[in-house]
């Protein structure tokens, strides 16, 4: 849909039904992939994800993130499309997620 809107010179937007914390997480995945280019290890190692106040243990992440062959690329496609749109609409408000809104 984004590509079709561009061809017609129409603005395009992404509507995320998740919260700002999730957007911050997928952006973190994209930046991490560019810098480190490794999959996560299933461990209690705590990750410093900018959109979360507290460190997040790697073992609580979704299982496809631990395997480059299954699902890892899917999680990276979403944030890659963020730069192709005119804006992102997120299902939240600043009072609900003050820390994540400030960071993003």
pLDDT digits (tens, 9 = 90+) for 8-54: 888 989 898 888 988 888 888 888 877 876 666 777 788 888 899 99
β-sheet bridge partners, residue 56: 47
Give me the pLDDT at residue 94, please: 87
Q: What mean pLDDT do residues 50-61 have?
A: 88
Stretch (H or E) spanning 2: helix 2-7
Give tens-digit pLDDT for 81-97: 888 899 989 888 889 98
State residue 62's pLDDT score. Answer: 78
Contact 92, 101 (CB under 8 A): yes
CB distance 84 to 2 below 8 Å? yes
What pLDDT sits at residue 40?
A: 67
Q: What domains are there in the chain, each with its CATH number?
A: 2-103 (3.40.50.2000)
Write down the pLDDT at residue 55. 92
What is the model's pTM?
Answer: 0.72
Q: How far is it, in rounded angstroms, from Cα 16 to Cα 90? A: 5
């Amino acid at each position: 849909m984004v590509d079709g809107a561009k061809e017609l010179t129409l603005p395009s937007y992404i509507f995320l039904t998740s919260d700002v914390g999730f957007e911050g997480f997928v952006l973190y995945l994209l930046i991490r992939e560019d810098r480190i280019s490794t999959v996560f290890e299933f461990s209690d190692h705590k990750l410093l994800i900018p959109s979360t106040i507290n460190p997040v243990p790697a073992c609580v992440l979704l299982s496809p993130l631990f395997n480059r062959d299954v699902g890892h690329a899917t999680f990276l496609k979403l944030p890659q499309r963020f730069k192709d749109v005119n804006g992102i609409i997120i299902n939240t408000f600043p009072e609900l997620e003050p820390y994540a809104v400030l960071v993003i």
